[in-house]
Structure 1
Amino acid sequence: MKTAKSFLQELRSNTAGNTLAMAGMAMFPLAAMIGGGVDVSRIYLVQTRLQQACDAGALAGRRQMGGGTWTANSNAANTAAENMFKANFDTDAFGSYDGTSSFSENAGTVTGVASVKVDMAVMQMFGFGTKNVSVECDASMSIPNTDVMFVLDTTGSMNCPDTGSTYCSNNGNREASNARIRGLRSAVKCFYETLAKRDSDEDCGSTPASGSENTAHLRFGFVPYSTNVNVGKLLPNDYIADNWTYQSREAISTVENVVVDYTPGTPYLYGSNYYYDGGWSSRSTIETHYDVRNSSACSALQPADYDDMSGSEGSRYDEYSWTSGGQQITRWYVDVRGTRYDYSRSYSSSRDRCQIKLRTRDIVEQREYRQVNTPVYEQQQVFSHYDYKPVTFDVSALKAGGSNWNDSLDLPVGNEGLDTGVAWDGCIEERQTVRTSNFSPIPTAAYDLNIDLVPTTGNPATQWGPLLDEAVWGRYNSYGSRTTSTVSTSSNLSRNYSYTCANEARKLQRWDTPSDFDSYLDNLDAIGSTYHDIGLIWGARLLSPTGIFASENAASDTGGAIDRHLIFMTDGDTVTSSSQYTSYGVEWYDRRRTSASSSPSTNDLTTQVNSRFLAMCSAIKNKNITLWVVSFGNGVSAGSITNLQNCATSGKFYNASNSSELLENFRSIANDISQLRLTN
């Protein structure tokens, strides 16, 4: 039998039951670890889903807010935020409860706060009860570095009412009370408010929040277009040719013997006239004779009347010359003042007395002199007639250095070839083009459709010319029909063409002062016909980062990349006429893009404009420029709508039937250009 001591010693050395005891003791920390992991995972999952829902709500609210205010449309933005939050998070999910969420906006940034409670599952055994889970989220609309070029139809039809189907050409060149041009101004101003976050003078339904002004690289440019575009004075002097050819006239002269002077002849008295100046003096006795036997003897003593004209001749007056028989005859008058002496007698037979009496009167002698002058001849060029034809003029006097321009120059197109002032408003004639109907691809020699070709100084094919309507004449024959032949006549022919120049375009620039932006739009005039191609060509040139304004457009001031957008808006079909003076000259006479051998029809010109327009659409999209196209009003044909849809970047075509829809279209474009992002 073992002793107690030996039993204890044996028990101390026996480890067969230790594992169970140790396992029992480890159950509590192990349960805590596993339970903690489960509950932490639940909390993390709830917090993640809560954050996602908060983010979604903030983004939805900010998108709904757009360019307006947080409280607009009965708090629609807040409602959208809450609905999106609820759609993404069920407050009973994962055992959570008592969920709350709220959203607010400040300076364009939407902030959300959300929280729920989560009861611990396993960790309650260790004294841990309910966990509060909360998150915050921010969302804002930020503008990346962005350039926006507006190419806007400002043709005559933009004066017409923005609704209705009644035909309207130009409304008498007066804006209707609800004119389309007014709707366009409103839409562009509200676009500016939405994107730039600056308050224009337009009522856009809300006012940009204070402090929300965009400070990124954001520039706007404008190309108003109709028959022509006004871009010339935005260009450096070297981009305009020194010499340009116009449908004009040249004064033709001949050599003739011209009288340049006269050799004076000898003056001679041609005749005289006398007239009294004032009345007679009173008679006075100047002699008394006595012992005169009779009246006859008294008569013998009376002196004879006479005129004393011994005074000097006065100055010449009423001098006049005329020619007769090749000689010049000059006539003039001089006056000589004198006195007329008038004697009388009085005889008294009773006293044999004879008295001699005298009265006087001032008299003027008007003497007419003449002089025959011999002509002196010299051979000179003398005006004969005008030749109406294409004439090349030196137009370099418009250049004032750098990018400065004069508003006019003198050209020899005045009366009988005299120099006369010719004004330049800034519209241009396009550079070299080609006659073709195939623009896929654009022909290499069609420099007018080359967005980026920088002109070569001295090479007019690559340069532009000033559009000078006062230097241009149409020409017609004796039957009144147009002709491309030279017409020789001494008459001043009428200008049988029409001309309009759109408002001056604006290069891309910041518009930090809203009043400047408003003023530019308010001064847009609606006049002229619809040539879509020339507007789009110059919108692309002014926007391109690799063309004639590459130094200004390639990158932001900090060297960052720029998103580029061109917004093209029109209210109608292409409208052309061979009698228009366009960027390609007077179409009937110049025929730069139609057959040289026949007069262009309206269909020929319209086909050319539409084909070039579509070619330019493709060229713009190929430059990674987003091309937005907006059709405005009910006057656009189905064919034109198709062209406009094909022109736009995919998904970027809008069709507005009235000004309200146009405003919403522009606001939608502005919101799409903005980038919605999470701040936190």
Structure 2
Amino acid sequence: MGLRQAFSRLVQDRSGATLPMMAVGLIPALAAIGSAVDVGRIYMVRAQMQAGVDAGAMAGARSFGLTDQRVEQVDNYFYANVPTGYLGSAEMDPASDFQTVQGVNRVKVDAVTDLPMAFMKIFGFGTVQIAVTATAEMQPKPLEVMVVLDNTGSMEEKVPEGTTRIYALQQAMLDFNNILHQGQDSRADLAMGYVTYTVTTNVGAVLNKYKIPVAQRDGFTNVAAYGGDPALGWMGCVENDPTVRDLGTDPTTITPGAFDVDKVLPGEDGRPGVRPYHFPPSAQTKTGMGGWFITPQLPANYQPIHTRSEKGNGRRNNLYRLQPLNATGTLGQTLANTAAYRQHFYDYYIGLNYQNSSQTDDVIVRESDGGYYKPGDAAAWKVDYSRIPYMTSTTYWDTPNGNYGYPAQGRNLGMPTPNWQCPSEAMDIQYGRLKKDYDDYINVDNHALMPASGTLHHIGMLWGYRLLTRDDIFTRTNPVPSEEPIKALVFMTDGETQAAGESAWYGAYGALRDRRISTSDTAGAFKNQVMRRFARVCENAKRDNIRVYIVSLMKGSDDANPVFRACAGSNYLQTSNQTQIQNAFRQIAVDLVDLHLTQ
């Protein structure tokens, strides 16, 4: 006899006592309570499963372009929301489907389970099947992104996984590209560009393309006119705009004359053209300096501390000849007296002139007759190239490196060169490029320049900002003119702003002794001024409705971290290994794509 038949006979039998009748009356009540418990379980399992497929669909949409990882991402997010055996439910295996429909990437996730009833099985209800579904998609929206990447020598150091920092960055950027492209070879609504930086940045080709005026440096930008070695010519890196010294700490303050923090371009509003970056022949010497003496010196005092064959990261010998060794003619003499070299050679070698008794080794001589020139005298002077100490030595001086920066040399910087520390050319922002073009830039043109020579965050940030925000000059065609594009500036570094303390150091703001941005010539004052200018560029970018993201790899510095945090807020992502930096760039990419649930 079944439970239902027994219950029916018990209800109809009225010959019993009161207690049996009460027991019969309790059965419906217990059934109601039991069904309420099971219905509650059904509701809770369904809700948890829905949260799981929602999270899984969103995760799948984020990683749509990572075809070898996206199913795993769906599963991980689903199971993070639905523990195994939740409230007695059977094993679940979410099914994910990835499709591109009319240009829209769509991810559908389904999940099904059987939930055994705890109380209702008494009444013949054994299990209940629960099914849920969720669909997420990415709607195309115009997106313009400028990525600024640290290419300093320290990027050749290792992360805990044992690979180099530059390799970790490359893998992170490839993931970044994959997510932004969402599995496509090209996105018509995506415009992206790259700027790499060290102590300078290479935007010369972009500036020439858009006809931004470049100041000519006779003997350098026009070296071909003199018949000089092409390796002596400008490769496109730039120095700072004219500016004022000693900016205050408030990044919101507008300082008249500080042309190196805003979006006004060289050549506009009466400003001069871009100053080409030029590293003159110099070296750290065994005396502890790199020249620039104002006391009596002998030629031996200019002996470099490193030979030209030195390959170490600390090499500080950038002595290159202006004319091939043993070549006839006056090319070296002519170039040495052009604007590119003349003042440098004076400042570097004038110490020889304080020795009146040895005038035959003076590099700086009277222009009229080549005789003795007294330092500070009003008479015209010139450089005697043939007298430069050690210049004929094959141990210390070398021909300029014409192959610098190419894969044939492992993409490391080869000295000597007037373009020392000049990274690869920037990529301007354009819609519809092939994803392969971006990947190639990351793998080939994004590399650590050796030997290391400091880090100037500001110069990369400034030109990344300008190339992004000045779309009236650096033009691109928005494929959806009715929609304002999202604009984002993504900045990456592995360390603090740094200027090497030795006198032979040179960067976008010249040498410390030039005092271009501070009345002090100390490295500390210089670094403070660089970071204050970085903060002002960031403030200007945010005023232009640009999303700013900053990623640091390894421990940041005490002077940089507060500036980065104030600049980017919660978009400042600190990482210390390869996994973390990959996750950081994935997070940024996800934030930049328009994802939402549709079902």
Q: C-alpha distance in 2, partners of 1:195/1:516?
A: 14
Summarize the Cα distance change of 1:512–1:52 in structure 2 as closer, same or farther, 3 Å threshold.
Answer: farther
Letter in 2 for 1:592: R
> Deviation of residue 610 (structure 1)?
1.2
Amino acid across the alignment from 1:653: Y
Q: Provide the rounded CA distance (Å) in 2 between the counterparts of 1:626 and 1:466.
A: 30
- Whether contact under 8 Å (2:50, 2:132) holds in the other structure is no
TM-score between both structures, scaled by the size of structure 1: 0.52
Partner SS, residue 551 of structure 2:
strand
Shift in Å, 1:91 = 12
Tell me the CA shift for residue 242 of structure 1: 6.3
Residue 384 of structure 2 is matched in structure 1 by 491
The partner residue of 1:450 within 249, 262, 271 is 262
Displacement of 1:616 after TM fit? Answer: 1.3
Alignment match, 1:431: 241
Q: Name 1:106's counterpart in structure 2.
A: 98
From the superposition, tell whether residues 409 and 557 of structure 1 become closer, same or farther in structure 2 (CA, over 3 Å): farther
CA distance in 1, matches of 2:93, 2:159: 45
Taking a change above 3 Å as real, the CA distance of residues 581 and 484 of structure 1, as seen in their structure-2 partners, is: farther
Deviation sequence 1:476-504 (CA, Å, 0-9, x none): 35436999999935422579999421111
Describe how 1:13-24 pairs up with structure 2 within 5 A: none
The number of residue pairs the alignment matches comes to: 420
Q: Residue 497 of structure 2: which of 559, 564, 574 is its match?
A: 574
Please say if 1:63 is aligned against 2:58. Answer: yes
Given that 1:144 and 1:562 are in contact with CA atoms closer than 8 Å, whether structure 2 keeps it comes out as: yes
**Matching residue of 1:593:** 517
The whole-number CA distance in structure 2 between the counterparts of 1:191 and 1:664 is: 9
Check if 1:632 corresponds to 2:553.
yes
The equivalent residue for 1:441 is 253
Distance in 1 between residues matched to 2:463 and 2:587, nearest whole Å: 25
Distance 1:78 1:424, change over 3 A: same
Q: Distance in 2 between matches of 1:149 and 1:624?
A: 14
1:156 corresponds to: 153
Structure 1: which 5+ residue stretches go unaligned?
1-46, 93-97, 118-130, 165-176, 199-211, 247-392, 399-406
Q: CA deviation at 1:103?
A: 4.2
Return closer, same or farther for 1:660/1:594 CA change in 2, 3 Å cut-off.
Answer: same
Q: Which residue of 2 aligns with 1:306?
A: none
CA distance 1:485–1:618, change in 2 (3 Å) = farther
Cα-to-partner distance string for 1:622-657 (whole Å, 9 max, x where unaligned):
2211111111124x3233222222221x21111111
Q: What secondary structure does 2:242 align onto? A: coil
| Helix, strand or coil at the partner of 2:201 | coil
1:463 is aligned to 273
Structure 1 residues 135 and 663, CA gap change in structure 2 (3 angstroms): closer
Which position in structure 1 is the counterpart of 2:314? Answer: none
- CA displacement 1:381-412 (0-9 Å, x = unmatched): xxxxxxxxxxxx498xx6xxxxxxxx854369
Please say if residues 58 and 597 of structure 2, whose CA atoms lie closer than 8 Å, have aligned partners that are also in contact.
Answer: no
Check whether the contact 2:135–2:597 (CA below 8 A) recurs between aligned residues: yes
Conservation of the 8 A alpha-carbon contact between 2:53 and 2:133: no
For 1:231 and 1:242, the matched residues in 2 are separated by 11
Q: C-alpha separation between the residues in 1 aligned to 2:52 and 2:140?
A: 21
* Distance across 2 between alignment mates of 1:658 and 1:628: 18
Q: Distance in 2 between matches of 1:576 and 1:666?
A: 28
Of 335, 351, 373, 1:479 maps to 351
The answer to whether residue 225 in structure 2 is matched with residue 410 in structure 1 is: yes
**In structure 1, what is the equivalent of residue 464 of structure 2?**
539
Q: Which amino acid aligns with 2:384?
A: S
What residue is the counterpart of 1:401 in the other structure? none
**1:526 maps to what in 2?**
448
- CA gap of 1:146–1:604, structure 2 versus 1, over 3 A, is same
* 2:196 aligns with one of 217, 221, 224: 224
Task: Looking at secondary structure, tell me which structure has more helix per residue.
Answer: 2
Shift, 1:427, TM fit: 0.9
Distance in 2 (CA, whole Å) between partners of 1:658 and 1:567 is 19
1:84–1:658 distance in 2 versus 1, CA, 3 Å: closer
- Distance in 1 of aligned mates of 2:577 and 2:236: 32
Report SS of the residue matched to 1:195.
Answer: helix
Change (3 A) 1:135 1:80: closer
Asked if 2 retains the 8 angstrom alpha-carbon contact of 1:571 and 1:632, the reply is yes
Specify whether residues 462 and 498 from structure 1 end up closer, same or farther in structure 2 by C-alpha distance, changes over 3 A only. Answer: closer
CA displacement 1:27-64 (0-9 Å, x = unmatched): xxxxxxxxxxxxxxxxxxxx999998776443211234
Does the CA contact (< 8 Å) of 2:239 and 2:274 recur in 1? yes
Partner residue in 2 for 1:316: none
- For 1:651, the equivalent position in structure 2 comes to 570
- Which of 144, 161, 164 is the aligned partner of 1:147? 144
What is the correspondence of 1:25-424 to structure 2 with a 5 Å cutoff?
56-65=51-60, 66-67=62-63, 75=72, 77-78=74-75, 80-81=77-78, 84=81, 103-107=95-99, 109-112=107-110, 137-142=134-139, 144-163=141-160, 178-198=163-183, 215=187, 217-236=189-208, 239-241=211-213, 243-244=215-216, 393=218, 409-410=224-225, 422-424=232-234
Query: C-alpha separation between the residues in 2 aligned to 1:242 and 1:510?
Result: 26
Q: Distance in 2 between matches of 1:679 and 1:235?
A: 44
Q: CA offset at residue 184 of structure 1?
A: 0.9
CA distance in 1, matches of 2:247, 2:432: 40
Q: Give the counterpart of 1:606 among 527, 534, 538.
A: 527
User: Judging changes above 3 Å, is the alpha-carbon distance between structure 1 residues 677 and 213 closer, same or farther for their aligned structure 2 residues?
Assistant: farther
Following the alignment from structure 1 to structure 2, what is the Cα–Cα distance between the partners of residues 79 and 659? 20
The CA distance in 1 between the partners of 2:88 and 2:594, in whole Å, is 30
Quick one: which amino acid aligns to residue 485 of structure 2? I
In structure 2, how many angstroms separate the alpha carbons of the residues matched to 1:563 and 1:573? 29
- Note closer, same or farther for the CA distance 1:55–1:146 as it changes in structure 2 (3 Å cut): farther
More strand by share: 1
CA RMSD of aligned residues (A): 4.5
Distance (Å, rounded) in 2 between the aligned partners of 1:64 and 1:243: 50
For the pair shown, which has the larger CA radius of gyration, 1 or 2? 1
CA distance, structure 2, for counterparts of residue 498 and residue 133 of structure 1: 67
Q: What is the deviation of 1:518?
A: 2.7
* 8 Å contact from structure 1 (residues 498, 581) kept in 2: no
**C-alpha displacement of 1:432:** 2.4
User: How far apart in 1 are the matches of 2:563 and 2:234?
Assistant: 34
Deviation at 1:140, TM superposition (A): 2.5
Residues 79 and 582 of structure 1: is their aligned pair in 2 closer, same or farther, counting only changes over 3 Å?
closer
- The CA deviation at 1:435 is 1.9
Question: Which deviates the most, 523-532 or 105-114?
Answer: 105-114
- SS of the equivalent of 1:147 reads strand
C-alpha distance in structure 2 between counterparts of 1:506 and 1:442, whole Å = 30
Change (3 A) 1:442 1:508: same
Which amino acid in the other structure matches residue 176 of structure 2? Answer: F
**Counterpart residue type for residue 178 of structure 2:** E
Task: Report deviation, 1:151.
Answer: 0.7
Partner SS for 1:651 = helix
How has the CA–CA distance of structure 1 residues 661 and 534 changed in structure 2, closer, same or farther, with 3 Å as cutoff?
same
In structure 1, distance between residues paired with 2:550 and 2:137: 27
Letter in 2 for 1:106: F
- Deviation for aligned residue 1:109: 0.9
Deviation track 1:302-336 (CA, whole Å, cap 9, x = no partner) reads xxxxxxxxxxxxxxxxxxxxxxxxxxxxxxxxxxx
1-side partners of 2:54 and 2:151: how far apart? 38
Conserved in 2, the CA contact under 8 Å of 1:428 and 1:583? Answer: yes
Q: Which residue of 2 aligns with 1:669?
A: 588
Q: Gaps spanning 5+ residues in structure 2: where?
A: 1-41, 100-105, 116-127, 281-339, 355-363, 365-374, 392-415
CA distance in 1, matches of 2:107, 2:226: 61
Partner Cα separation in structure 2 for residue 80 and residue 562 of structure 1: 30
8 Å CA contact retained: 1:195, 1:214:
no
- Give the match's secondary structure for 1:463: coil
> Is the deviation greater in 222-231 or in 508-517?
508-517
How far residue 420 of structure 1 moved from its aligned partner, in angstroms, is: 9.7
Rounded Cα–Cα distance in structure 2 between residues aligned with 1:420 and 1:632 = 37
